[in-house]
């Protein structure tokens, strides 16, 4: 069978998953996929689920061509858990690790449209992580990923746009009232490890080695913000 065999790990949102894929987003197939929910289960179940999916698919570590991991944006805790697990596994079995932007993986789940696609993740604090994919784009640069309020996002949309992702929960009222926006079905709510693996195979087609996989947070974590605030208070006191 043609195409790279990828073990993909997605833990950027509350519904994580692990998948085995063969090939890329254009002609690839999903061999197996398991979901992890809620987010609290990521750290406890992730490595066990990796072994389960390999066993169920009767695939050995030797047969795996590369691992893929969601690199964000997303949950700070989830990203760190997934990244640490993927890096450890890739090192242990001596396989390449491919980092895939979470929003690009979510974008890959929307097909057959010429409209702009807006992918959204919940950023907490009444904000979303968002990326707009225009003119058939399947990826955006990290600089194009936003952390913004629902109102700020709505102000940026001025053409027919399809919206998907768990961030919809944060801004459903504003999006539903927007004349240019259509909200996609709940089946496209969470980024999946399956789409992550297919996107990773396309990136791998550009050749190895890939850039080092690192978490992409868009904004500082709550702990970092509190630490900086405390430091400023101490400096001023």
d(CA 127, CA 121): 9
Among the residue ranges 21-25, 101-105, 142-146, 206-210, the one predicted with the least confidence is 206-210
Pair 92, 172 in one domain: no
d(CA 57, CA 149): 42
- What is the pLDDT at residue 5? 96
User: Does residue 233 belong to any structural domain of this protein?
Assistant: no
d(CA 174, CA 156): 13
d(CA 195, CA 8): 9
Among the residue ranges 25-29, 84-88, 122-126, 205-209, the one predicted with the least confidence is 205-209
User: Does residue 143 belong to any structural domain of this protein?
Assistant: yes
Pair 173, 153 in one domain: yes
pLDDT tens figures, 178-225: 999 999 987 778 899 999 999 999 998 876 667 778 888 875 545 444
Pair 73, 137 in one domain: no
CB within 8 Å of 163: residues ≥ 6 apart: 117, 118, 119, 120, 175, 181, 182, 183, 184
Pair 26, 70 in one domain: yes
d(CA 26, CA 108): 10
Pair 114, 172 in one domain: yes
Q: Is the pLDDT of residue 174 over 70?
A: yes
Which residues constitute the domain of residue 91?
5-102+191-222
Asked if residue 131 lies in contact with residue 148, where contact means CB atoms within 8 angstroms, the answer is no
pLDDT above 70 coverage of the chain, percent: 88
């Amino acid at each position: 069978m043609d195409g790279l065999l990828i073990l993909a790990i997605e833990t950027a949102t509350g519904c994580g998953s692990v998948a085995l894929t063969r090939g890329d987003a254009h002609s690839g197939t999903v061999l197996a996929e398991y979901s992890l929910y809620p987010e609290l289960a990521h750290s406890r179940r992730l490595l066990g689920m990796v072994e389960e999916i390999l066993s169920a698919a009767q695939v050995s570590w030797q047969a795996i061509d590369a691992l893929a991991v969601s690199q964000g944006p997303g949950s700070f805790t989830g990203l760190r858990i997934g990244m640490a697990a993927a890096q450890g596994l890739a090192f242990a079995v001596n396989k390449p690790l491919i980092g895939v932007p979470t929003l690009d993986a979510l974008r890959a789940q929307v097909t057959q449209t010429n409209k702009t696609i807006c992918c959204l993740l919940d950023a907490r604090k009444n904000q979303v992580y968002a990326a707009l994919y225009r003119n058939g784009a399947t990826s955006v640069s990290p600089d194009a990923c936003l952390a913004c309020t629902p109102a700020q996002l709505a102000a940026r949309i001025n053409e027919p746009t399809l919206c998907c992702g768990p961030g919809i929960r944060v801004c459903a009222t504003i999006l539903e009232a927007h004349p240019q926006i259509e909200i996609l079905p709940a089946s496209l709510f969470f980024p999946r490890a399956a789409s992550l693996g297919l996107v990773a195979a396309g990136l791998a087609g550009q050749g190895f080695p890939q850039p080092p996989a690192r978490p992409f947070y868009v904004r500082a974590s709550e702990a970092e913000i509190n630490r900086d605030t405390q430091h400023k208070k101490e400096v001023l006191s």
